[in-house]
Structures are given as structure tokens and as C-alpha cells.
């Protein structure tokens, strides 16, 4: 065991775990090193990379930002921030950091490749993607993934021979690139073909088996949805007398991991309505005009299956502010979304369009007007009773000791999302399972195992509330999203009581 007061020994241990891909222990020892030397940029950076490999993108983000505070001219960190923001779908921030990386190190092939991915898949700009890929391959001629992507770009541009050559080169460098092999096999000398947009048959409606009883807690939200949606469906004649429309648009917003998707699926099951679950990836298409066609096809499917719920997950990824749209196709896609939602309102079609987002302030204001997505419903973090119910639900049918203190767990996890609570229960169950394997006897989940899992779990909720200051001004938050503002104040107050620290600038200290 290393001497925890000797930074060289601690860093050596951290490095050993890092190189062996044991990222949990690497994070533990890099954290110890940071306590001994808080201004060691490399410790923050390596811990950030470890978080990234564990898909803990918010934690990686914090470490990378801290690294840049210590060393602002770290080109590699800017590049890695581009990767993190790409994973978080914050594409504007990803571009900014790839650009910064290239300015600091004009031969950084990895940054050129990352920016090319954004140009091709997000901006749908094949020319810019090609330019960046050419640069990436100039500075690293053995980068297989860059040949693979350039082959795809050439294929879209109709330059088939160039595409074939790049796919062959990619496979020569990395025979495991299956997509390159598939593309090469499919080409066969044919011209690049637009595979076509989705049709109304592409989107499959379903009636989920889940219902409100399947979702732990969230009683206040369930009651609100009952009066807003369920009762008008049960008694349409009464709703009609009060000019209460059954269809239309509603935005569910709030922190990530707090149940927006699960409550939507439960709502469909509760009402026995068809639901069509649409993700951003189902809509966005690199071929010009297809994204708009995909939106139309999704709405047409909903109309054919009315009464129906059309669920647009990550709505901000489709309906972002047109003022920030850099290309005509982006503005055209948002305009198509406006047309479709307007038709539902004017024709009083029995289609309820639910959009979910963590960031309603990024959605185009025109979409949030009355008659479109005019109603915003806040999906708050789980309260004490909901967290207690979550612990009971996630530990159901698992061997547990008799006197589990669910109420205590609820108090300990005041800053946890639904997803965080689930992660705690899964970690405790995994620990009990490991004990069972070692002892040969069934080991129950105990209070101590759950306490340990809570201590180890990093709350996504705290990280998200901390990031609010980078996304929206406090005055705007208070005026437009008062329930979220109140939750932020509550979180700050609890944070101060638990840590003794004072919040700074409206966020956590």
C-alpha cells in the first residue's frame, strides 16, 4: 500500500491502475493525489479521462475544466472536452474546444478528426468534413477511422473510386472496422444513393405494459397529468364543454435521470394509448430534406393511430433556437416541426405531443407559444417519499436483510436523482452477489452495503444543478422556470447545511 501522504507513491499507484484500465481505483488514487497537490493539472486530467472511460461525462467535464484553469494552453484537454461535449450533445461547445485545440496545436490530427465528425453528422457539411479529414490524415497517415469516415464522405459526394480506396485503406490498417467492410461490400462500383427518408411505416406505435403504479413516487406529477390528460380522455364530452383540448403539445422538463421518459411511458400505459417514441437519431439525416420528411412521417404515423401520444425525447436536439441555426436545413427542419404541431392544434386531432428536455431554454421560442408546446410541466428530482419508494422498488425480489432502513437511505440521498438511486441499489446488489460467490452462501443486501454504495455514488443531479449557471441567467430562470428555480434554492440550502459551505454566484460552492 502506498503512503497516502507521499504524492509520488500515490501518483505511481494511480498510474498503475490507470494503465491497467482499472478506472475506479485510478479515480480513487488520483483524488488522493489532488488532495495533496490541488494544482497538479495532470492528476485532474487523468482523473477526467478515467471518468470519461466510465461514461461519467459530467465528472470528466469538471476535471477537464479544472485542468484548463491550471493550464489554459493544454491542446489535448481542449480536444478531450470536444469529445465530452459531443457525448453530451452540446455540439456548439464541442466545436469551440476542437477549434481551440487546433489553434494551440495546428498538427493535432485527433482534433481535426473530432471536428470532421461534427461537420459531417451534425452540420451535414461534407466539404468541411473532407477538409478536416485531409488534415487529420496528413498529420497521421495511419489513422484508420479517418480513412473510414473520409470514405463515407466521398461516397456521399459520388466519388465512388475514392471512397473504395479509403475503405480499403481503413481495413488494411484496422481489419476490425466492420462498417468499412460493409460499406465496401455494398458499394460494388455503384453510385452513392440516398437511402431515403423514413416513411410512416418506419415508426412503430406501441401500448406499454407499464402504468402509474409501475413508477415509484412522483405522486404530485401523476395527479397533474391525471387532470391535464387522463380525465379529458375518459370524459371527452365534459372536456369539450369547457373547451379542453385532448391533443396538442406539452414539454416535460427538468434535471436528467428524474423520470421524464418513464412517466411518459407510464402515461401511455395508464391511458391505453398508442405511443410513438422518437429520438433525435430517428429524425436527423445527412441527406438534405430528409430530416423534414422524417418529422412529417412521425406525425403522420401518430395521426393514423390517433388517439396517440407522440413522444419527442431530447426536444432541444430538434427544436433549438433558429437564431442559432447556422444552416438553412436546420431552420427548415424547425419550421417543419412548427407546421406539424400547428396542424394538430388547428384540426383538433387527437394526438398528444410530449417533448422531454433537460434544457427548455435552448428550445425555439416559437415552439413554446400557446397552441404548440404552450404548457411546460416540471419533472422535479424525487422527494423524500419518492426516494424511499424507489429504494423499495429497486430492491424488490432481491435478498435483503430484514430491517433495511429505507427512510435513512432516503435522507442520505437528498441530492440524488431516480437514476442515482437505481445505481446505488444495483451497486449494493452487486456487492451482495460477490459476497455470495465468495462464501458459497446467499448473502443479503444489508444496510452497510447500501451505505457504502451511497458513499461511492456521485450524484448526476448535483453536477447538473451546478452547471445551470453556464446555461441560463438566474433572473431568467426565476421568471420562466420558477419551480426549477425553487429546487435550485432548496439544493443550495441543503448543500450549505450538509457541507458548511456557502454557495457562490447562485450555484454551489
Cβ count within 10 A of residue 343: 13
Residues 6+ apart with CB under 8 A from 193: none
Does the pTM exceed 0.75? no
Predicted pLDDT of residue 506: 39
pLDDT band with cut points at 50, 70 and 90 for residue 275: very high
Helix (H) or strand (E) holding 91: helix 91-104
CA 107 to chain centre: 31
Predicted pLDDT of residue 191: 40
> Is the pLDDT score of 178 beyond 80?
no
Grid cell of 414 as nine digits? 437528498
pLDDT band with cut points at 50, 70 and 90 for residue 193: very low
Predicted pLDDT of residue 492: 78
Q: Which of 32-36, 38-42, 315-319, 451-455 has the highest mean pLDDT?
A: 451-455
Q: 459-496 in b/e burial notation, b at 16+ Cβ within 10 A?
A: bbbbbbbbbbbeebeeeebeeebeebbebbeebbeebe
CATH dotted code for 384-458: 1.10.8.60
* Domain layout of the chain by residue ranges: 7-187, 212-378, 384-458, 461-499
pLDDT tens per residue across span 336-391: 888 888 887 776 668 889 999 988 888 888 888 887 888 899 999 999 999 999 99
Residues 361, 481: Cα–Cα separation, whole Å? 9
Burial of 86 (0-12, 13-18, 19+ CB in 10 A): buried
CATH dotted code for 7-187: 1.25.40.10
DSSP string spanning 285-340? -SSTTHHHHHHHHHHHHHHHT-SEEEEETTGGGTSB-GGG--SHHHHHHHHHHHHH
What does the H/E/C string look like for 387-434? Answer: HHHHHHHHCCCCCECCCCCHHHHHHHCCCCCHHHHHHHHHHHHHHHHH
CA 4 to chain centre: 36
> Is the pLDDT score of 235 beyond 60?
yes
Grid cell of 80 as nine digits? 478531450
> Is the pLDDT score of 445 beyond 60?
yes
Predicted pLDDT of residue 200: 52
DSSP string spanning 164-224? HHHHHHHHHH-TT-HHHHHHHHHHTTPPP-------TTTS--B--S--GGGS-S-HHHHHH
Closest CA to 27 of 46, 42, 2, 5: 46
CA-based radius of gyration for the chain:
25
pLDDT tens per residue across span 69-121: 999 889 999 999 999 998 888 888 899 999 999 999 999 999 999 999 998 87
Predicted pLDDT of residue 188: 59
Dihedral sign of CA atoms 365, 368, 371, 374 in order: negative
**212-378 CATH choice from 3.40.50.1370, 3.40.50.300, 3.40.50.80, 2.30.42.10:** 3.40.50.300
Residues 220, 297: Cα–Cα separation, whole Å? 34
Q: Is residue 158 classed as helix, strand or coil in its secondary structure?
A: coil
pLDDT tens per residue across span 9-41: 888 888 888 888 888 999 998 998 899 899 988
Amino acid at each position: 500500500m502506498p503512503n497516502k501522504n507521499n504524492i509520488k507513491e500515490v501518483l505511481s499507484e494511480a498510474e498503475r491502475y490507470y494503465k491497467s484500465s482499472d478506472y475506479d481505483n485510478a479515480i480513487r488514487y488520483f483524488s488522493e493525489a489532488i488532495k495533496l497537490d490541488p494544482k497538479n493539472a495532470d492528476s485532474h486530467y487523468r482523473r477526467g479521462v478515467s471518468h470519461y472511460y466510465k461514461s461519467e461525462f459530467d465528472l470528466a467535464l469538471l476535471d477537464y475544466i479544472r485542468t484548463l484553469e491550471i493550464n489554459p494552453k493544454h491542446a489535448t484537454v481542449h480536444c478531450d472536452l470536444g469529445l465530452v461535449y459531443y457525448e453530451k450533445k452540446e455540439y456548439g461547445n464541442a466545436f469551440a474546444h476542437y477549434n481551440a485545440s487546433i489553434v494551440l496545436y495546428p498538427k493535432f490530427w485527433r482534433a481535426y478528426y473530432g471536428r470532421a465528425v461534427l461537420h459531417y453528422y451534425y452540420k451535414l457539411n461534407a466539404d468541411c468534413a473532407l477538409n478536416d479529414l485531409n488534415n487529420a490524415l496528413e498529420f497521421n497517415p495511419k489513422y484508420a477511422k479517418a480513412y473510414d469516415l473520409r470514405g463515407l464522405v466521398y461516397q456521399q459526394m459520388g466519388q465512388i473510386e475514392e471512397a473504395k480506396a479509403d475503405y480499403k485503406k481503413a481495413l488494411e490498417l484496422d481489419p476490425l472496422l466492420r462498417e468499412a467492410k460493409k460499406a465496401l461490400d455494398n458499394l460494388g462500383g455503384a453510385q452513392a444513393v440516398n437511402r431515403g427518408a423514413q416513411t410512416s411505416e418506419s415508426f412503430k406505435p406501441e401500448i406499454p405494459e407499464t402504468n402509474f403504479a409501475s413508477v415509484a413516487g412522483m405522486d404530485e406529477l401523476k395527479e397533474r397529468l391525471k387532470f391535464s390528460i387522463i380525465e379529458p380522455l375518459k370524459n371527452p364530452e365534459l372536456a369539450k364543454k369547457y373547451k379542453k383540448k385532448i391533443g396538442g403539445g406539452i414539454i416535460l422538463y427538468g434535471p436528467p435521470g428524474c423520470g421524464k421518459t418513464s412517466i411518459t411511458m407510464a402515461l401511455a400505459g395508464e391511458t391505453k394509448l398508442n405511443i410513438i417514441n422518437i429520438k433525435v437519431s430517428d429524425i436527423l439525416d445527412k441527406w438534405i430534406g430528409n430530416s423534414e420528411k422524417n418529422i412529417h412521417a412521425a406525425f403522420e404515423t401518430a395521426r393514423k393511430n390517433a388517439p396517440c401520444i407522440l413522444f419527442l425525447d431530447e426536444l432541444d436536439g430538434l427544436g433549438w433556437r433558429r437564431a442559432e441555426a447556422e444552416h438553412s436545413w436546420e431552420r427548415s427542419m424547425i419550421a417543419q416541426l412548427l407546421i406539424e404541431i400547428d396542424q394538430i392544434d388547428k384540426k383538433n386531432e387527437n394526438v398528444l405531443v410530449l417533448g422531454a428536455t433537460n434544457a427548455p431554454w435552448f428550445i425555439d421560442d416559437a415552439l413554446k407559444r400557446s397552441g404548440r408546446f404552450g404548457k411546460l410541466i416540471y419533472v422535479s428530482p424525487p422527494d423524500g417519499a419518492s426516494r424511499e419508494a424507489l429504494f423499495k422498488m429497486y430492491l424488490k425480489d432481491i435478498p435483503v436483510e430484514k430491517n433495511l432502513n429505507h427512510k435513512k437511505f432516503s435522507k442520505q440521498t437528498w441530492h440524488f436523482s431516480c437514476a442515482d438511486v437505481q445505481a446505488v441499489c444495483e451497486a449494493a446488489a452487486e456487492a451482495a452477489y460477490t459476497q455470495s460467490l465468495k462464501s458459497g452462501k446467499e448473502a443479503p443486501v444489508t444496510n452497510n452495503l447500501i451505505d457504502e454504495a451511497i458513499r461511492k455514488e456521485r450524484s448526476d443531479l448535483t453536477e447538473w444543478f451546478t452547471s445551470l449557471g453556464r446555461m441560463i441567467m438566474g433572473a431568467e430562470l426565476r421568471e420562466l422556470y420558477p419551480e426549477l428555480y425553487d429546487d435550485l434554492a432548496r439544493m443550495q440550502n441543503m448543500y450549505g447545511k450538509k457541507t458548511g459551505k456557502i454557495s457562490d454566484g447562485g450555484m454551489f460552492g
